[in-house]
Structure formats: C-alpha cells, structure tokens
Chain A
Amino acid sequence: MAMSVEEVEAAIIEKAKKAPKPQLYIKDFYKCAPDMKPRQIKKIANKLVEKGELMFWSSGSTTMYARPDRIKDEEGAEGIN
C-alpha cells in the first residue's frame, strides 16, 4: 500500500534521528518509502529542510541531509569529505 506524504516525512525524520552518522545521503532515505520514486523522496526531504526538520550539510562536493540538533559546530567540517 502506498504511503502518505506524512508517513514518509515521519520515516525520514526517524531515520535521520537514529542513523549512526548524523549526515545522510539522499539515497539513505529511499528505503523509507520503497514504492516512491527517488525524485519524489528528494522533494519531500527538501520540504523538510524548509520546515527546519532537516538541514543541508555539504561535504564540499556532495550535499547531505542532517537533523540540525545532531550537527554541533557551525563549520562541521570534520568527518566525511
């Protein structure tokens, strides 16, 4: 059965809270809604950034997603590059 947008949002937030590393690739969210097209999931993730539930985090060349409260310093340059 297809998931509603709200259910997908909740699953994405849950994943972003629990994942071992705070920064996630967009592909990490695909499993939150296996029946949905990746471009649809990307739209939902970007909406969550607009709502402040997620934030963008850039490695320099790749953009990742994170829960704002899991990223400490503003620079956050440690970790993945």
Chain B
Amino acid sequence: MAKHDTPMLDELEKGPWPSFVTDMKRQAETHPECWDILGQLELSYEDRITHWKHGGIVGVFGYGGGIVGRYSDVPDRFPGVEHFHTVRVNQPAGLYYSTENLRALMDLWDKYGSGMTNMHGSTGDMILLGTRTENLEPLFWDLTHDLGQDLGGSGSNLRTPSCCLGESRCEWACYDTQDICYALTMHYQDEIHRPAFPYKFKFKFSGCANDCVAAIARSDFAVIGTWKDDIQIDQAAVKEYVAGNYPANGGAHKDGDWGPFNLKKEVIDLCPTQCMWMEGDELKIDNSECNRCMHCINVMPRALRPGKEKGATICIGAKAPILDGAQFATMIIPFIEVSKDNEYENIIDVIERIWDWWMEVGKNRERVGETMQRVGLPTFLSVMEVEPIPQHVKEPRSNPYVFWKEEEVPGGFERDIVEFRKRHAA
C-alpha cells in the first residue's frame, strides 16, 4: 500500500483550519491502509460517485449490531480498504473517560484497526473506523474482557442511548440524565444488541431545554428536562447584573465589544413568549406563559434558576432525512416525573406503548416520526392516551370539518327512529 497522488484532496490541506487529509496522511505513516482511503476518496472525487459498498453480514457472534460493514468496490486498486468496517463502542454516560481507559482503547484499535476514530458519532458512540472481518472477534473479545466495554447499537436495533453530562457538572439539570441513560441501556440490552424494530430507534436525554445532546433534533424519543413551578429569582442578583457587576452569560461573550449589559434588550425583548417585564427595579415573570426555554437563565445564571418541581418533557419523532425530510421531535408529554425511585417505570411504559404501536403500524424503514405524520397527531395522541392540550396545536385549523367520535357526543349516535319520525315524517 503505497502513497497515491491526491491533488484534489491536497487542496483540502490549505487554509488555517484543521484538515482530515493532513490527519490521515499522518496516520498513514503507521497504518499504510490509510493511503488507500485517501486514494479511493480521490478517485471518488474524479468519478463523482462513492466507491464504498454498504451492507452485508459482518458482526460478532451473538450480536446483530454494533459493527457497520463497509467494503471497497475497487479493492484491486486499494487493497487496504478492501474491508473497512466501522465498530461502534458504547460511550460512557456523559462521555467521561479516564486517560488510562482512552489509552487502552487506542492501543486496542492500533492493534486491530486503522487507528482512525470519530469521537463521537451522532448516535453518541465512539466510532472506530476501518478494520477487516477477521479482526472483529478478537477485538470484541479484548474490548469486553480486558476493558469491560461493549458495542453500541446499529441497524434496526435500539441505538446506543446518550445523554448530556447533567448533574455531574451542570446545575441546570432537572433530572439525573446519566442515571436514566445508563439504567435504560442496561434495561434494553437485548434491543441494543439485536434488531428489534422495523427501523432504528434512538433515545436521548438532556437535563434542560439547552438540550446539549440535541435530543429534539436527533432522537425518536427525546427526554428534555423542565420544571412545573416558577423560575427562582434572586432580585439582589438581578440588580448586580443591571449594575454591570456580574458578567452576563457567565462571561461567555466578554471578549466581544457588546457595550454595557442591557436587561431589556438582551433578556426581556428576547423572551420568546414575552412574559417578562420590570416593575421598578424588580424583574417579573408571568410563569403561566413561560415556555421554559432557558434563555433568561442562560443570560443571568446567578439571578435566575429553574424551578424546584422538576421533571421532563417528552418529545417524539425527530429524524434526519432518509425517506422524507428532516424533522424535529413533536412535544407529546408536557411533564413527566423522572425518578430513579421507581426505576423509570413510568418512562418505560411510555416507550413500550410507542414501540407496540409503531411495530404494528409503521412501514418498513419508516421512523416513528414519519408514522406519526402519516396518521396525524390526533390519532397518535389517542394511541398514547394523551389528552390534547393547546401546546399540541401548531396553528389554527384550516379544515372546516369537525369529526366527532361516538363517545364524544352526548347520547351517542344511536337514536330511536320511531321517536324521530314522529317529529319528522319521511
């Protein structure tokens, strides 16, 4: 495996930013198969078509996921990437590693693979890029036996759950994201390691609406922390912000020249529900209008914090564009308690209600968000046994027809025809 001429890729090394081409060339010095990745990519640029083949039957014994098979369709020219499978390693909750563990993982990957990684993939896993079929079993053995780590999900499996770092470092976390992420990973081992559905299904857990794992955009089942009662306000700290004694946004933007802090411009006017105002030098919030977006709290963390009655909102059905376009998740359950005391039984109930319905009604390769769209939100809400509320409604209706179900009509649809005909002769 020798170096190839890659004039087009070399262009991507110019400029002040990091370059994956430079990284791969460096990696190729110890793992020559990386020259063939570059060579094949250059060829793809010339031919304007991918030279990777997807699919097939790679994996480790007993598992139906965790390895993504990749083959070159020009192996004679690029033997180093004849097989170039991806290994997904289940990341620790909140992405905490010891340096010792990271070194051990990299040693393992240097031994069995190309040494190239993607930390982390959008699913959340640590992605080890590029190995041959015959390396998979020994790699899996060492990973599970020496490092005590496991593969994540792929294909039609439950994908590796992921979470924000939550209570471990962030005072805004409205529940313990890492605990539920770990608990459900353990609870659903079978679903993660073997295909369980007509298509992929993802859980993600964010501790608040800042949504640091982008659950609302990337997961079929997004659990996003929120609170029921009032935002906690420290009026003395509000005054300190106004006086310029506390840096806004925790000092995050202090290098820019933004002028003095302006509470009206930066907080009140940007509140999406327009539910904040000043009364004298007191900040007021109409909490019944607040949608818990976190904006004001982000700007003035020392003056404002989430309420005390904490839990989560469940949003369902986000996805990337595969069959239809990309979509965000839809808010279905405005507030649910998230507590380890009941081993997340109430959340598990919601999850399994969705699965039972989606497996039955969903089409092949249809994400739950697409199934929801196909049947319509009212139908989905009734499947979930959730009462519709105004927040479920996106816009006023444009369809003038109202359909009632029999149970919604007092007296039902049955009528005594004789009684009716007495008043309306045929």
- Interface residues in chain A, defined as those with a beta carbon under 8 Å from any beta carbon in chain B: 25-27, 30, 37-39, 42, 46, 49-50, 55-63, 71, 74-77, 80-81
Contact A75 B71 (CB under 8 A): yes
Cβ-defined contact, A26 with B198, below 8 A: yes
In angstroms, how far is the closest chain A Cβ from the Cβ of B405?
25
In the bound complex, do residue B62 and residue A77 qualify as a contact, i.e. CB atoms below 8 Å apart? Answer: no
| Interface residue count on the B side (C-beta < 8 Å) | 34
Given A27-B364, A63-B155, residue A56 in contact with residue B64 (CB < 8 A): yes
Is there an interface contact between A50 and B62, defined as CB atoms closer than 8 Å? yes
Distance in angstroms between the alpha carbons of A67 and B221 in the assembled complex: 33
Compute how far the CA of A73 lies from the CA of B190 in the bound complex, rounded to whole angstroms. Answer: 28
Query: How distant is the Cα of A30 from the Cα of B195 in the complex, in angstroms?
Result: 15
Chain A residues positioned under 8 Å from B62 (CB to CB): 50
Q: Given A46-B195, A77-B53, A81-B54, are A58 and B356 neighbors across the interface (CB < 8 Å)?
A: no
Identify the 10 closest CB pairs spanning chains A and B, nearest first.
A60-B54, A63-B155, A38-B359, A63-B195, A77-B53, A63-B156, A56-B64, A25-B364, A75-B56, A77-B55
From known contacts A57-B56, A71-B57, infer whether A26 and B195 are also in contact, taking CB-CB under 8 Å: yes
C-alpha spacing A57/B65, complex, angstroms: 10
Number of A-B contacts (CB under 8 A): 97
In the complex, chain B residues 348-394 whose Cβ is within 8 Å of any chain A Cβ: 355-356, 359-360, 363-365
Given contacts A60-B68, A62-B155, A62-B156, A55 and B356 within 8 Å (CB-CB): no
Instruction: Name the one of B71, B199, B356, B363 contacting A77, with C-beta atoms under 8 angstroms.
Output: B71
Interface residues of B (CB under 8 A from A): 53-59, 62, 64-65, 68-69, 71, 133, 154-157, 190, 194-200, 322, 355-356, 359-360, 363-365
Cα A60 to Cα B68 in complex, Å, equals 7
With both beta carbons as reference points, the residue of chain B lying nearest to A57 in the complex is identified as: B57
State A62–B363 Cα separation when bound (angstroms).
12
> Residue on B with the closest CB to A45?
B195
Assess A60 versus B55: contact at CB under 8 Å? Given A25-B364, A26-B195, A50-B62: yes
